[in-house]
Amino acid sequence: MPIELPRTSKSSVFCRNVRIAGILIPILLFFLCSFSSAAGGLEIIANPKGATESLDASTLRGIFGMHMTRWPDGTPIKVFVLPDDNPEHEKFAKTFLNTYPHQLRRNWDRLVFSGTGNAPIKVEDEQEMLKMIRSTPGAIGYVESVEESANVHVIETR
């Protein structure tokens, strides 16, 4: 005697599809939002003297990891960062460097305490960041947004 398989009604197929869509749509939206705002609204800025037009993620990690110390033209790089507990600093570390602020701090402390390198220069807020970037040749940092009249160079990231 042949075995009869239960027939699925159109409503049960529809309900199953709705459940799957209910799971997949939020996941897809999460990924689309995270990639569409990859920079998270932050801009990498530098002093116009010595800075390059664009940097890839690896070079950016080298600069903010304090391993790259000179721009391609030989100008010393001066790295400026916001305090570890600043939300923009956390966003910058996660988005651009793919790390956490406490990991950055641990690496910088290791360089300083071992005598093999320096920590970046900490500024208190974005206004001070802009002021220091403008006045320091070879400087690099980040801000939430920058006006055209700020007299700093915005570096594109790849």
Per-residue pLDDT tens over the stretch 77-105: 999 999 999 999 999 999 999 999 999 99
Q: Where are the domains of the chain?
A: 7-36, 43-157
| Phi/psi of residue 49, nearest 5 degrees | -85, 115
Q: Does residue 55 carry a pLDDT above 50?
A: yes
pLDDT band at 120 (very low <50, low <70, confident <90, very high): very high
What pLDDT score was predicted for residue 148?
A: 77
- 34 or 50, which is more confident: 50
Fold of 43-157: D-Maltodextrin-Binding Protein; domain 2 (3.40.190)
- 27 or 63, which is more confident: 63
What pLDDT score was predicted for residue 17?
A: 60
